[in-house]
Amino acid sequence: MALINPKKKEVQVKLVYYGPGRGGKTTNLEYIYEKFKKRITGKMTTVKTYGDRTLFFDFLPFDIGVIRGYNVRMQLYTVPGQVKYSATRRLVLRGVDGIVFVADSMVLRKKMNRLSLKDLQDNLATFNKSIFKIPLVMQYNKRDLEKEGIPLLSYEAMERDLNSRLKAPAFDASAITGDNVVATMKKAISLTVASLQKKLELRG
Protein backbone atom coordinates (compact mmCIF):
# COMPACT_ATOMS: atom_id res chain seq x y z
CA MET A 1 0.00 0.00 0.00
CA ALA A 2 1.73 3.08 -1.19
CA LEU A 3 1.42 6.28 0.72
CA ILE A 4 0.66 9.40 -1.29
CA ASN A 5 1.32 12.70 0.47
CA PRO A 6 -0.16 15.57 -1.59
CA LYS A 7 1.22 18.13 0.85
CA LYS A 8 4.85 17.09 0.50
CA LYS A 9 4.27 15.85 -3.07
CA GLU A 10 5.81 12.55 -2.08
CA VAL A 11 4.93 8.90 -2.64
CA GLN A 12 6.35 6.06 -0.56
CA VAL A 13 6.32 2.66 -2.25
CA LYS A 14 7.25 -0.66 -0.63
CA LEU A 15 9.23 -3.29 -2.57
CA VAL A 16 9.95 -6.56 -0.76
CA TYR A 17 12.67 -9.10 -1.62
CA TYR A 18 11.25 -12.52 -0.74
CA GLY A 19 12.70 -16.03 -1.06
CA PRO A 20 14.25 -18.98 0.77
CA GLY A 21 16.90 -18.57 3.46
CA ARG A 22 20.48 -18.06 2.28
CA GLY A 23 19.16 -17.28 -1.21
CA GLY A 24 20.82 -13.86 -1.55
CA LYS A 25 18.11 -11.32 -0.69
CA THR A 26 20.32 -9.32 1.67
CA THR A 27 23.20 -9.57 -0.81
CA ASN A 28 20.95 -7.99 -3.47
CA LEU A 29 20.28 -5.00 -1.20
CA GLU A 30 23.92 -4.73 -0.16
CA TYR A 31 24.98 -4.60 -3.81
CA ILE A 32 22.36 -1.93 -4.57
CA TYR A 33 23.47 0.07 -1.55
CA GLU A 34 27.14 -0.07 -2.60
CA LYS A 35 26.33 0.77 -6.21
CA PHE A 36 24.07 3.73 -5.49
CA LYS A 37 25.56 4.84 -2.18
CA LYS A 38 26.30 8.34 -3.37
CA ARG A 39 22.68 8.92 -4.31
CA ILE A 40 21.01 7.13 -1.42
CA THR A 41 20.28 9.63 1.30
CA GLY A 42 19.28 7.16 4.01
CA LYS A 43 21.20 4.27 5.47
CA MET A 44 20.73 0.56 5.06
CA THR A 45 19.23 -0.85 8.23
CA THR A 46 19.58 -4.52 9.06
CA VAL A 47 18.31 -6.57 11.96
CA LYS A 48 20.48 -9.67 12.09
CA THR A 49 20.84 -12.69 14.34
CA TYR A 50 24.00 -13.95 15.93
CA GLY A 51 24.77 -16.09 12.89
CA ASP A 52 24.63 -13.08 10.55
CA ARG A 53 21.26 -14.14 9.15
CA THR A 54 18.42 -11.68 8.67
CA LEU A 55 16.23 -11.84 11.77
CA PHE A 56 13.59 -9.26 10.99
CA PHE A 57 14.35 -7.41 7.78
CA ASP A 58 16.82 -5.24 5.90
CA PHE A 59 15.62 -1.82 4.87
CA LEU A 60 16.97 0.53 2.22
CA PRO A 61 15.19 3.78 1.25
CA PHE A 62 15.86 4.89 -2.31
CA ASP A 63 14.64 8.03 -4.13
CA ILE A 64 13.99 7.22 -7.77
CA GLY A 65 12.86 10.57 -9.14
CA VAL A 66 9.69 12.47 -9.91
CA ILE A 67 6.56 11.03 -11.49
CA ARG A 68 3.63 13.34 -12.25
CA GLY A 69 5.10 15.92 -9.92
CA TYR A 70 5.50 13.48 -7.03
CA ASN A 71 8.88 12.56 -5.61
CA VAL A 72 8.89 8.77 -5.49
CA ARG A 73 10.67 7.06 -2.62
CA MET A 74 11.12 3.31 -2.95
CA GLN A 75 11.48 1.47 0.33
CA LEU A 76 13.35 -1.78 -0.31
CA TYR A 77 12.89 -4.53 2.28
CA THR A 78 14.05 -8.11 2.62
CA VAL A 79 12.35 -10.77 4.72
CA PRO A 80 14.05 -13.40 6.88
CA GLY A 81 14.13 -16.50 4.68
CA GLN A 82 14.25 -19.33 7.18
CA VAL A 83 11.04 -21.34 7.40
CA LYS A 84 10.51 -20.67 11.11
CA TYR A 85 10.23 -16.90 10.58
CA SER A 86 6.94 -17.02 8.69
CA ALA A 87 5.17 -14.69 11.16
CA THR A 88 7.92 -12.10 10.70
CA ARG A 89 7.72 -12.37 6.93
CA ARG A 90 4.02 -11.68 7.12
CA LEU A 91 4.71 -8.50 9.12
CA VAL A 92 7.18 -7.24 6.53
CA LEU A 93 4.75 -8.00 3.71
CA ARG A 94 2.16 -5.69 5.21
CA GLY A 95 1.46 -2.92 2.72
CA VAL A 96 3.72 -4.38 0.01
CA ASP A 97 3.43 -2.82 -3.46
CA GLY A 98 5.82 -5.03 -5.43
CA ILE A 99 7.89 -8.19 -4.93
CA VAL A 100 11.22 -9.59 -6.11
CA PHE A 101 11.34 -13.34 -5.53
CA VAL A 102 14.99 -14.34 -5.13
CA ALA A 103 15.24 -18.06 -5.90
CA ASP A 104 18.36 -20.16 -5.35
CA SER A 105 19.47 -21.85 -8.58
CA MET A 106 21.27 -24.72 -6.84
CA VAL A 107 19.73 -28.12 -7.62
CA LEU A 108 19.77 -28.87 -3.90
CA ARG A 109 17.53 -25.89 -3.14
CA LYS A 110 14.75 -26.74 -5.59
CA LYS A 111 12.27 -27.75 -2.91
CA MET A 112 13.07 -24.73 -0.71
CA ASN A 113 12.26 -22.37 -3.58
CA ARG A 114 8.87 -23.96 -4.10
CA LEU A 115 8.07 -23.89 -0.39
CA SER A 116 9.04 -20.24 -0.15
CA LEU A 117 6.92 -19.30 -3.16
CA LYS A 118 3.95 -21.10 -1.65
CA ASP A 119 4.62 -19.32 1.66
CA LEU A 120 4.61 -16.01 -0.22
CA GLN A 121 1.28 -16.85 -1.83
CA ASP A 122 -0.22 -17.80 1.54
CA ASN A 123 1.13 -14.75 3.34
CA LEU A 124 -0.13 -12.41 0.60
CA ALA A 125 -3.53 -14.05 0.86
CA THR A 126 -3.72 -13.06 4.54
CA PHE A 127 -3.70 -9.44 3.29
CA ASN A 128 -6.24 -10.27 0.57
CA LYS A 129 -3.61 -9.96 -2.14
CA SER A 130 -3.08 -12.37 -5.00
CA ILE A 131 0.38 -13.47 -6.10
CA PHE A 132 -1.01 -13.46 -9.65
CA LYS A 133 -1.94 -9.79 -9.51
CA ILE A 134 0.79 -8.07 -7.52
CA PRO A 135 3.81 -6.69 -9.46
CA LEU A 136 6.33 -9.55 -9.24
CA VAL A 137 9.79 -10.24 -10.69
CA MET A 138 11.62 -13.57 -10.42
CA GLN A 139 15.37 -13.69 -9.93
CA TYR A 140 17.28 -16.96 -10.36
CA ASN A 141 20.28 -16.22 -8.21
CA LYS A 142 23.75 -17.73 -7.73
CA ARG A 143 24.49 -18.31 -11.43
CA ASP A 144 28.16 -17.61 -10.62
CA LEU A 145 28.35 -21.01 -8.88
CA GLU A 146 28.23 -22.75 -12.25
CA LYS A 147 31.90 -21.92 -12.76
CA GLU A 148 32.74 -23.71 -9.56
CA GLY A 149 31.12 -26.90 -10.78
CA ILE A 150 28.17 -26.74 -8.37
CA PRO A 151 25.08 -28.30 -10.01
CA LEU A 152 22.55 -25.61 -10.91
CA LEU A 153 19.13 -25.78 -12.49
CA SER A 154 18.98 -24.12 -15.91
CA TYR A 155 16.95 -20.96 -16.49
CA GLU A 156 14.36 -23.07 -18.33
CA ALA A 157 14.14 -25.56 -15.47
CA MET A 158 13.70 -22.73 -12.95
CA GLU A 159 10.99 -21.23 -15.17
CA ARG A 160 9.15 -24.56 -15.36
CA ASP A 161 9.48 -25.09 -11.66
CA LEU A 162 8.45 -21.68 -10.34
CA ASN A 163 7.12 -19.47 -13.09
CA SER A 164 5.02 -21.60 -15.44
CA ARG A 165 1.75 -20.20 -14.09
CA LEU A 166 2.90 -16.85 -12.76
CA LYS A 167 4.67 -15.84 -15.97
CA ALA A 168 6.45 -13.00 -14.20
CA PRO A 169 9.50 -11.34 -15.78
CA ALA A 170 12.57 -13.39 -14.77
CA PHE A 171 16.34 -12.86 -14.64
CA ASP A 172 19.35 -15.10 -14.18
CA ALA A 173 21.52 -13.27 -11.67
CA SER A 174 24.40 -13.32 -9.29
CA ALA A 175 23.88 -11.09 -6.29
CA ILE A 176 27.45 -11.57 -5.12
CA THR A 177 28.98 -10.30 -8.39
CA GLY A 178 26.10 -7.89 -9.05
CA ASP A 179 25.16 -9.49 -12.35
CA ASN A 180 21.54 -8.55 -13.18
CA VAL A 181 20.90 -7.25 -9.66
CA VAL A 182 20.13 -3.76 -10.92
CA ALA A 183 18.16 -5.11 -13.90
CA THR A 184 15.96 -7.09 -11.53
CA MET A 185 15.37 -4.07 -9.34
CA LYS A 186 14.59 -1.81 -12.29
CA LYS A 187 12.07 -4.24 -13.67
CA ALA A 188 10.38 -4.49 -10.29
CA ILE A 189 10.36 -0.71 -9.93
CA SER A 190 8.94 -0.20 -13.43
CA LEU A 191 6.12 -2.72 -12.84
CA THR A 192 5.33 -1.21 -9.46
CA VAL A 193 5.54 2.35 -10.69
CA ALA A 194 3.24 1.53 -13.64
CA SER A 195 0.49 0.75 -11.16
CA LEU A 196 1.38 3.87 -9.16
CA GLN A 197 1.14 5.97 -12.29
CA LYS A 198 -2.43 4.77 -12.81
CA LYS A 199 -3.24 5.69 -9.26
CA LEU A 200 -1.83 9.20 -9.67
CA GLU A 201 -3.70 9.64 -12.96
CA LEU A 202 -6.93 8.76 -11.21
CA ARG A 203 -6.22 11.38 -8.60
CA GLY A 204 -5.75 13.91 -11.40
Partner 1 sequence: MKGGLVSLQFLNSRLANGLDLILTRTYFNAAKGDYRMECTVEFDKQQFDQIENILNEELIETGVQSVLLIDLAGNIIVSLDNGNINHDIYSLAALAAGNFGAVNAMAKIIGEEDFSLLFHKGEKESINFSKVTEDLLLLTIFSKDLSLGFLRLKVAEAIRKIQNLI
Q: Which 8-state DSSP code applies to residue 109?
A: G
* Position among 15, 29, 32, 96 found at the interface with partner 1 (CB under 8 A): 96
Provide, rounded to whole angstroms, the least separation between the CB of residue 17 and partner 1. Answer: 14
47 or 108, CB closer to partner 1? 47
- C-alpha to C-alpha distance for 41 and 103, rounded to whole angstroms: 29
- C-alpha to C-alpha distance for 152 and 157, rounded to whole angstroms: 10
Q: Is 160 in the site for partner 1 (CB under 8 A)?
A: no
- Burial category of 174 from C-beta neighbours within 10 Å (exposed 0-12, middle 13-18, buried 19 and up): buried
Alpha-carbon dihedral sign for residues 35, 145, 23, 54 = negative
- C-alpha to C-alpha distance for 103 and 173, rounded to whole angstroms: 10
38 or 147, CB closer to partner 1? 38
Q: Is 107 in the site for partner 1 (CB under 8 A)?
A: no
Q: Report the interface residues with partner 1, using CB under 8 A.
A: 1-7, 12, 14, 39, 42-43, 45, 47, 56-57, 59, 61, 64-68, 72-73, 75, 77, 87-88, 91-92, 94-97, 133-136, 167-169, 182-183, 186, 189-199
